[in-house]
Structure 1
């Protein structure tokens, strides 16, 4: 009887922990919409877009995020009563910001009104973030925010975020999102703010310092496309057979790949990061050149992409991590958004001379292939394969089993 009561007590402790599943939506990027309508070439020339531009890893630079390529969006709320925003859930940055209602008018649908929130606290410290294709600036504030909306939400009081009052033209001219929520480490954050999820854990709102990202396969209709589970391993969507990969640097989610291989190309070792805010896979010029050649891809100036046949017999993109080979299949690195027979190769080249900077950016094609279990308490990453069965809505079961797995590991 005593042992039974002890088991019940342990289970009750686990059940009380906050485990939330945050649904992710897929939206066709502004770039793809314009490419299909024949407007992208003229537009890209006007803004001098260069997808092979270097990703900058200096202070206050968050890298090659082109707003016209973003596709995965999640809902958050700020304030009391809550104001809802569609934001990029970005593991490649650490700051949280949304557009203020005093910013210049543009196509951004939702803006934050501090006067409408009873929990707003002024914190007028200036901030500025420069991305690869735009920048924004404003002042800080504190308020209650929530991951998700409605009953399935994780509310985090006293969260520091940015109210963007000045945005570059690239950001105000698109309509896919209202801001960015960074899921990187505090050392990456402008003004050294505590990122919202780490703030949630510091307040005891998560049982474990972990979140699981599951991205669904792209489709041609906007809609559900995966989820992020906060506080547990998503056992409904991810297999249990995986090994932890230690981070080589806890700023980005950065680790070491001993070898990268595609057809005849082989190279390494490399420092790499995974990044939900990057739609393609980026790598060194020599590697990407070899990949494009192996795909028989040709540059299409209308789409500003390298295009190839969707039905070709192409190799997997293989990465050796901790002695294990992780393979990205053509289903995930070829984008079939066009006529059904021609696909875009989801690769881009970039160069960085900084010794600590990553040489590869493993964006959405890699993340669609593997679940990403981010353990920011132990600075490690788990990369199990996705289960064939789609993720269910049994949040209780997912949270319970996931919390138990974290205890066992």
Structure 2
């Protein structure tokens, strides 16, 4: 941080020298300092989802019958750090581990807390078609003495804990404990990303491992103990994870701050879900988790069934909520009331249009009264995750 301050002061001093001849120079320097010095930027790539790739191969329904959608699995396991078998995960960024660095694409997941990547010791199908970390090639690698098990809805990832230097957005986190996989669940073979980087709290981390962002704070690598996520509606580019700051270019209006109801996941209180002014779900209040690691908006089966019915969707033989693509312009908005504030999601955002038809972004999650506000919601609202105040900030995305 001292180095950053020195650089900033030097730039400001230089701006004063040139201010008379270049009137707008000072503003330019401060703008560059704010956006490029104090924030760690991680571009997020939106690739084809497992669902899309399997549909192209004509294998989607066979896959789904073998691996039922179980998005709530990660929130109702104990003793291990669970993840979901969501076939629609699509946003990922590139990090590197070791010296010299070995690169991996990872899903930045606010619904879990551990970092793990495939390793050369893994022979599962999921490891064979992903990049694998080789400890023997890193001079800064150290084995730990604990095993790691991460439960999925239809399988698990097992491996070992170790430590090494991890680079995220050009910033080096030293001595980060992470998992190297030995086995991985079959469905991971269909995912675009190699591994997972969890951004939730240490309280739910397997083996009480200190999460990557916590170490960034402890090592003085970020100026503020918060991060923010912008998911572009663009099909491929523009999404970004900003570590240590808030980028005003990604939203319009004021940020609404909502206190966490539980500092485990990024969990908040939801008051209701309404369509055309009518409460159709979460009557009397419920809990919701803002989760970048789930693509859909997920809720209890009965509530989601009611919501899908209200927007005009019907279930096909595989349990997927489909709509007539021509009806999208006339479909209603859905409003989520969070701690007394209304957040509206239009049909253009909650309907996914593919060459195979149009599907709603509302998924059934079982019988528990818990909701997951995933990427369908986050694309509409720039999300700020503040670890110090234990709150979430939401503002309308641009």
* TM bracket, shorter-chain basis: 0.7 to 0.9
Q: Flag the 1:8–1:83 CA change in 2: closer, same or farther, 3 A.
A: closer
The answer to whether structure 1 residue 310 and structure 2 residue 331 are counterparts is no
Contact map agreement 2:140 2:165 (CA 8 A) in 1: yes
Please give the alpha-carbon distance, in whole angstroms, between the structure 2 residues aligned to 1:308 and 1:351.
22
Q: Which runs of 5+ in 2 are unaligned?
A: 1-7, 14-29
Distance 1:226 1:269, change over 3 A: same
In the alignment, is residue 131 of structure 1 matched against residue 146 of structure 2?
no
CA distance in 1, matches of 2:191, 2:299: 29
Partner of 1:87: 106
Tell me what 1:115 maps to: 136
Q: TM-score, normalised by structure 1?
A: 0.83
The aligned residue for residue 393 of structure 1 is: none
Change (3 A) 1:282 1:105: closer
Match of 2:250, SS state, is: coil
**Any conservation in 2 of the 1:64–1:278 contact (CA below 8 Å)?**
no
Task: Name 1:75's counterpart in structure 2.
Answer: 94
Q: Does 1:273 align with 2:294?
A: no
Deviation of 1:240 after TM superposition, in Å, equals 5.0
The residue aligned with 2:48 is 28
The separation in 1 between residues aligned to 2:61 and 2:379, in whole angstroms, is 28
| Alpha-carbon separation, structure 1, partners of 2:256 and 2:287 | 18
Counterpart in 2 of 1:331? 348
- Please identify, of 8-17 and 139-148, the stretch whose mean Cα deviation from structure 2 is larger: 8-17
State the secondary structure of the residue aligned to 2:149: strand
Per the alignment, residue 224 of structure 1 pairs with 237
| 2:390 matched residue in structure 1 | 379
Question: TM-score, normalised to structure 2's length?
Answer: 0.85
Residues 8-47 of structure 1: per-residue CA shift (max 9 Å, x gap): 59979986964111000011112222224422122333x1
Alpha carbons of structure 1 residues 48 and 273: separation in structure 2 relative to 1, 3 Å: closer
How much has 1:67 moved relative to structure 2? 4.7
Which is worse superposed, 162-171 or 90-99?
162-171
The answer for the alignment partner of 2:358 in structure 1 is 343
The number of residues matched between the two structures is 366
Q: 1:204-263: per-residue Cα shift (whole Å, max 9, x none)?
A: 1111001010011252xxx32400011111112123512211101101000111222134
- Residue of structure 2 equivalent to 1:209: 225
* Equivalent in 171, 176, 179 of residue 154 of structure 1: 171
Structure having the larger proportion of residues in helix: 2
Contact 1:66 1:132 (C-alpha < 8 Å) held by counterparts: yes
1:100 and 2:119 aligned: yes
Q: Show the counterpart of 2:194.
A: 178
Give yes or no for contact 1:67–1:133 (8 Å, CA) kept in 2: no
